Amino acid sequence: MPKNAPKKTNPFVYLFIIALIGAAFALFSGDMNLLGPQQVEEIPITRLMEKYENNQLKTVEIKDNQVLAESLEGEMFRSYKEPTANIQDLGFNDLTKDTSVEVIDTSGGKMWMNILIGVAPFLLLVFFLIFLSRRAAGSMGGGEGGGPFGFGKSKAKIYDKTKHRTKFTDVAGAQEAKDEVVEVVDFLKNPKKYLKMGAKIPKGILLVGAPGTGKTLLARAIAGEADVPFFSVSGSEFVEMFVGVGASRVRDLFKSAKRNAPAIIFIDEIDAIGKQRGQGMGGGHDEREQTLNQILTELDGFDPDTSLIVIAATNRPDVLDKALLRPGRFDRRVHIDMPDMDARAQILELHAKNKTLSKGVDLKKVASQTVGFSGADLENVMNEAAILAVKKQQKTVTQANLNEAVEKVSMGPERRSRRITPSERKIIAHHEVGHAIAGHFTENGEPVHKISIISRGSALGVTWFLPEEDKYLMSEQKMKDEMTSLHGGRVAERLIFGQTTSGASNDLERISRIARSMIMTYGMGDQKKIGPVVFAEKSKSYAGLDFHEKDFSEATARAIDQEVQRFVLEAEKECEKTLKKHLPLLKKIATDLLEKENLSREEFLAYFETQKKKV
């Protein structure tokens, strides 16, 4: 465990003391007359002066702008004077009279008050700075020094294991990734066992996986399981506006970790600092480069026996600087895949634990409907379903809640309030049915899961194709089929209404993207014209502007464009052929959709059953 920093005094204690001192001064200077004189009659200063002239007063006391007088009969009077008027001005200086005139000098107390008022903001500032620097230094556990300006200190958080009890059991699925890190945790617990065997445990482990697959969660589980200090930082925390700060934070982080070894350092989202160096043409990324260099130095700097392990997480391993991945650095990669069917069911079960599900709810079915969902998405589905159940005042979460939640998470919430004119609705209906029919008749297309003309998110309608199983390879034909069904909306608009609308822009974008990657990345273009070569386009930024850089000639660029166009047009032709053939069906389904707003998979498939029977 890190050495305990001395117990810090809360800065508010100082503030309280200042306030007390101030109050004391105010009291002694007499501003707060706690005893409060009784039965004092307030009279104008001229009347008081009259009484003085007439020898009716025993005493006169002048304090600030108050004149307090006692008559010979013991009555008390109070008057107010101009602050600048002195006893001469008022005429209380007649030495022939018996009245005792006393001027009480409050400037002593005033002076203290003035000093206090002048100094207080400054004191506050000093205390505030001390407070800040302590916090910055204090979060390092051992943080010695730091001074009032501890910006160079690492902001790493040490996990308090009593509070963060994430365990490996909280990570569902991801079995391979878990196995790998279990080994690491075991090494830190019993280093001797491994060293005796001559085994070397890697210094750096890179967790790689799409966003939401549970990288941060797994790291937290390691922290919960390992019996060693766990220093956690996020890559973005290194990058601040002061040049040199990142590097000094890295140094500080490794220093503290080494002092507490065996220990784990976790750098989340390392791509924020670990991007390839020398990319910024203007040298604008100096800060990041310095930070990265420092990390590399530190990784090389500790020998394997220190029992220090650095774990980093990223969803962009492709942009990481090659130097980071060299042997002896982050040479071991642990991939966290998108969850497959079983893993999805396990994740759903895990997040269903604290919710009451209706009897007969089948989470496996939900898992089968959520191909391509990440762990975070699935958690979101469970949560949305629970919210829906509460909204509908149910006691338990039903399968219907879950289905609705799946739709909401994958397509955004329904937006029934959006105003859509009847003619627009008609276009949307035909557009969506166009997608569905074009997709339905392709050989490799995913089955239609649902068609809807209720707006969701930014989409006016949706045709939802749902893969039935996890797939890891996409064939050429499948990509072409996908383009064909994407054309369906626009082609249907043209066939039915004689013109197209702006509603197809997103479809076209996706079509172009598919065609382009088929040719430029997968080598599926005409082999004589282009061939199986990967063509890369890089964008660099200079002075805030983006520049594109191609690693191929203009002639090749033209050939690529022609091939892309050919692919897109071929798919469109294919789509048109299908829709023309089934035009009456398209119209019929669209009419029904206009009425029902939603068509389920079964309802959609029923149209084809009846058609078959007729034939």
Q: State which of residues 213, 294, 307, 578 lies at the interface with ligand ADP (CB under 6 A).
A: 213
CB 599 within 8 A of CB 443: no
CB 338 within 8 A of CB 213: yes
Query: Judged by CB under 5 A, does residue 455 bind Mg ion?
Result: no
For residue 297, give the amino acid letter. Answer: T
Question: Using CA atoms, how far apart are residues 477 and 337, in angstroms rounded to an integer?
Answer: 25
Active-site choice (432, 563, 574, 576): 432
**Shortest spacing between CB 343 and ligand ADP, in angstroms:** 7
Q: Residue 507 binds which one of Mg ion, ligand ADP, Zn ion, none, with CB within 5 to 8 A depending on kind?
A: Zn ion
Q: Residue 489 binds which one of ligand ADP, Zn ion, Mg ion, none, with CB within 5 to 8 A depending on kind?
A: Zn ion
Query: Judged by CB under 6 A, does residue 272 bind ligand ADP?
Result: no
Query: Judged by CB under 6 A, does residue 217 bind ligand ADP?
Result: yes
Question: Using CA atoms, how far apart are residues 526 and 536, in angstroms rounded to an integer?
Answer: 18
Identify which of residues 213 and 248 has a Cβ nearer to Mg ion in the complex: 213
**Shortest spacing between CB 232 and Mg ion, in angstroms:** 11
Identify which of residues 214 and 317 has a Cβ nearer to ligand ADP in the complex: 214
Query: Judged by CB under 5 A, does residue 216 bind Mg ion?
Result: yes
Identify which of residues 134 and 490 has a Cβ nearer to Zn ion in the complex: 490
Q: Residue 309 binds which one of Mg ion, ligand ADP, Zn ion, none, with CB within 5 to 8 A depending on kind?
A: none
Which residues contact residue 88 at a Cβ distance below 8 angstroms, ignoring those fewer than 6 apart? none
Query: Judged by CB under 6 A, does residue 202 bind ligand ADP?
Result: no
Which residues contact residue 467 at a Cβ distance below 8 angstroms, ignoring those fewer than 6 apart? 371, 372, 446
**Shortest spacing between CB 220 and ligand ADP, in angstroms:** 8
Q: Choose among 227, 226, 234, 223: nearest CA to 166.
A: 223
Question: Using CA atoms, how far apart are residues 319 and 503, in angstroms rounded to an integer?
Answer: 35
Question: Using CA atoms, how far apart are residues 518 and 481, in angstroms rounded to an integer?
Answer: 13
Question: Using CA atoms, how far apart are residues 525 and 515, in angstroms rounded to an integer?
Answer: 9
Query: Judged by CB under 6 A, does residue 214 bind ligand ADP?
Result: yes
Mind giving me the DSSP string for 407-438? Answer: HHHHH--B-TTS---HHHHHHHHHHHHHHHHH
Q: Residue 375 binds which one of Mg ion, ligand ADP, Zn ion, none, with CB within 5 to 8 A depending on kind?
A: ligand ADP
For residue 121, give the amino acid letter. Answer: P
Question: Using CA atoms, how far apart are residues 105 and 256, in angstroms rounded to an integer?
Answer: 60
Q: State which of residues 481, 507, 563, 572 lies at the interface with Zn ion (CB under 5 A).
A: 507
Q: Residue 564 binds which one of Mg ion, Zn ion, ligand ADP, none, with CB within 5 to 8 A depending on kind?
A: none
**Shortest spacing between CB 441 and Zn ion, in angstroms:** 17
Identify which of residues 258 and 335 has a Cβ nearer to ligand ADP in the complex: 335
Query: Which residue stretch of 41-49, 123-131, 215-223, 447-455 sits at the interface with Mg ion (rule: CB under 5 A)?
Result: 215-223
Tokens of 37: 């004189």
Window 368-407: residues binding ligand ADP (CB under 6 A): 375-376, 379
Q: Residue 299 binds which one of Mg ion, ligand ADP, Zn ion, none, with CB within 5 to 8 A depending on kind?
A: none
Which residues contact residue 238 at a Cβ distance below 8 angstroms, ignoring those fewer than 6 apart? 245, 246, 249, 250, 272, 273, 291
Identify which of residues 216 and 463 has a Cβ nearer to Mg ion in the complex: 216
When CB distances to ligand ADP are compared, the closest residue is 375
Tokens of 467: 């893969």
**Shortest spacing between CB 215 and ligand ADP, in angstroms:** 3
Query: Judged by CB under 6 A, does residue 211 bind ligand ADP?
Result: yes
Q: Where are the alpha helices (DSSP H) in 146-285?
A: 175-189, 191-196, 215-225, 235-238, 245-259, 271-274
Identify which of residues 256 and 484 has a Cβ nearer to Zn ion in the complex: 484
Buried b / exposed e over 252-270, threshold 16 CB at 10 Å, is: bbbebbbebbbbbbbbbbb
Q: Residue 211 binds which one of ligand ADP, Zn ion, Mg ion, none, with CB within 5 to 8 A depending on kind?
A: ligand ADP
Tokens of 238: 């290194």
Tokens of 224: 């919960």
Q: State which of residues 215, 344, 431, 490 lies at the interface with ligand ADP (CB under 6 A).
A: 215
Q: State which of residues 99, 133, 154, 216 lies at the interface with ligand ADP (CB under 6 A).
A: 216
Buried b / exposed e over 321-345, threshold 16 CB at 10 Å, is: bebbbeeebbebebebbbbeeebbb
Which residues contact residue 233 at a Cβ distance below 8 angstroms, ignoring those fewer than 6 apart? 154, 155, 156, 157, 249, 253, 265, 266, 267, 268
Dihedral of the CA atoms 143, 147, 150, 153 (nearest 10)?
-30
Which residues contact residue 362 at a Cβ distance below 8 angstroms, ignoring those fewer than 6 apart? 399
Query: Which residue stretch of 8-16, 156-164, 210-218, 458-466 sits at the interface with ligand ADP (rule: CB under 6 A)?
Result: 210-218
Identify which of residues 88 and 354 has a Cβ nearer to ligand ADP in the complex: 354
Q: Is 180 a catalytic residue?
A: no
Query: Judged by CB under 6 A, does residue 208 bind ligand ADP?
Result: no
**Shortest spacing between CB 454 and Zn ion, in angstroms:** 15
When CB distances to Zn ion are compared, the closest residue is 489
**Shortest spacing between CB 335 and ligand ADP, in angstroms:** 12
Query: Which residue stretch of 156-164, 399-407, 499-507, 528-536 sits at the interface with Zn ion (rule: CB under 5 A)?
Result: 499-507
Query: Judged by CB under 6 A, does residue 298 bind ligand ADP?
Result: no
User: CB count, 10 Å around CB of 37?
Assistant: 10
Compute how many residues bind Zn ion; rule: CB under 5 A: 2
When CB distances to Mg ion are compared, the closest residue is 216
Residues recognised as catalytic: 432
Provide the binding-site residues for Mg ion, judged by CB under 5 A.
Answer: 216
Provide the binding-site residues for ligand ADP, judged by CB under 6 A.
Answer: 171-174, 209, 211-217, 347, 350, 375-376, 379
